[in-house]
Amino acid sequence: MNLPAFEILDPEGHPVQNAYGALDRLEVVLPPDDGRTWVGFRFFPIHRRKDPFWEGIPRALWWVPATTEPSPVSPPFQPSTIPPDPDDIHEHPDRSTWNRWIRKTLEQLGRGIPEKVVLARYRQIRGQPPSLQAMREHPAWGYRFRILLSPEVAWFGITPETFLHWKQGWVYLDALAGTLPRPVYPVPRALQVEHRAVVTYLVHHLQPFSHKITVSPQQWKQVGTMVHLHTRIQAPLSRDHVPALTEILFPTPALAGSPRDEALNWIQETEDFDRGGYGGLVGWFTPDEVFLLVAIRCGVYRKGWVRWYAGAGIVPGMDPDELWEETTWKLNVMGRLLLPSRTSGPGS
């Protein structure tokens, strides 16, 4: 594998962490706290070996930056100027299969365990990954990331969701769950249940580490042309506790469900593809700061094909058709970047 290139832009399009090449690489879930800066990623915990899109890619890879200049062994991809053939656009699962998955899940939720499940789907086309400049100019709000693992493999995304941010003795967690095209009052009960499950989970697992937890009022957060229910949670925390807290929290109910183990088992039983980096972590560890993003609204390029993902949280009372529409909105975020002349409809 060639030395990787790691690039992240903030929501205003400014570089916040670029690291090309590597002095050291570790295929571990989290890097060591050895006083050095580490950048990298960690995939969603469910792994399906036969999915060719993610085959041969480490499930977690962290490295010490060798340089902040572009590496000749990891050249940037050139965006494709040839529009994809509509016959090459593939969605999985199709709508009838998706509805079957959702009905089956709602039946299981009606039995009480799990209480919430997040299911995902994807689109796939022939094409090239977007350039960093195209991602910078895209109107969606969020952090842009692009990781070039070889001339044939790239992972990229625009995510509005921070998993964990630690700085100057404080940790900040974001509960972002419950999505609509526009704010609705009162908030629908199903979305309240979905969002509260995430908030409760984060607070519960943070309590052993800190007794001074502050939870902000719930509010709608505008993200592009969509809104998400958002709650900010913060607490004083020692840097030494960050790896343990990350291990306990990942993945949260926002990307898996709750209770987590039961939800992960249900995802394993229901979905028939590898999420790979979708729902994983991207970020960096330094002695002074830890910043981890949740890789939602993301895609992967491999050997002339691009695949991108979206998911929806499912709780009792939800409608399969509405969940299909929600994931369509989310898929359209990356779709506008990859299929600008063909993708329409609300997105974030």
Residues 6+ apart with CB under 8 A from 167: 288, 289, 290
Distance from C-alpha of 18 to C-alpha of 83, rounded to nearest angstrom? 30
Q: What is the mean pLDDT of the chain?
A: 86
Distance from C-alpha of 251 to C-alpha of 255, rounded to nearest angstrom? 6
Q: Is the peptide bond before 86 cis (omega within 30 degrees of 0)?
A: no
First-to-last C-alpha distance (Å) of the chain: 34
Q: Of 27-36, 53-62, 69-78, 188-197, which range is least confident?
A: 69-78
- pLDDT value for 110: 94
Percent of the chain beyond pLDDT 90? 54
Helix (H) or strand (E) holding 126: strand 116-126
- pLDDT value for 348: 38
Q: Which residue has the higher pLDDT, 335 or 324?
A: 324
Cβ-based burial of 281 (10 A; exposed 0-12, middle 13-18, buried ≥19): buried
Confidence band for 330, pLDDT divided at 50, 70 and 90:
confident
- Strands 298-302, 162-167: pairing is unpaired
Distance from C-alpha of 172 to C-alpha of 96, rounded to nearest angstrom? 40
DSSP per-residue letters across 90-103: EEES-HHHHHHHHH
User: Mean per-residue pLDDT for 69-88?
Assistant: 52
Residue 71 tokens read as: 């590496």
The dihedral region occupied by 152, where left means phi > 0, alpha psi between -120 and 50, and beta the remainder, is: alpha
Residues 6+ apart with CB under 8 A from 347: 140, 224, 225, 226, 329, 330, 332, 333, 335, 336
pTM over 0.85: yes
- pLDDT value for 199: 94
Q: What phi and psi, each to the nearest 5 degrees, are found at residue 39?
A: -125, 155
Residue 197 tokens read as: 């499950």
Q: What is the dihedral of CA 70, 72, 73, 76, to 10 degrees?
A: 60
User: Mean per-residue pLDDT for 213-223?
Assistant: 92
Residue 73 has pLDDT above 50, yes or no: no
pLDDT tens column, 236-279: 999 999 999 999 999 988 899 989 999 999 999 999 999 999 99
Distance from C-alpha of 310 to C-alpha of 192, rounded to nearest angstrom? 20
Distance from C-alpha of 276 to C-alpha of 44, rounded to nearest angstrom? 6
- pLDDT value for 117: 95
Q: Residue 348 in contact with residue 140, Cβ under 8 Å?
A: yes
Residue 71 has pLDDT above 50, yes or no: no
- pLDDT value for 86: 56
Confidence band for 68, pLDDT divided at 50, 70 and 90:
low
- Domains in the chain, start-ordered, CATH in brackets? 5-338 (3.60.120.10)
pLDDT tens column, 152-197: 889 999 988 899 999 999 999 999 888 888 899 999 998 998 899 8
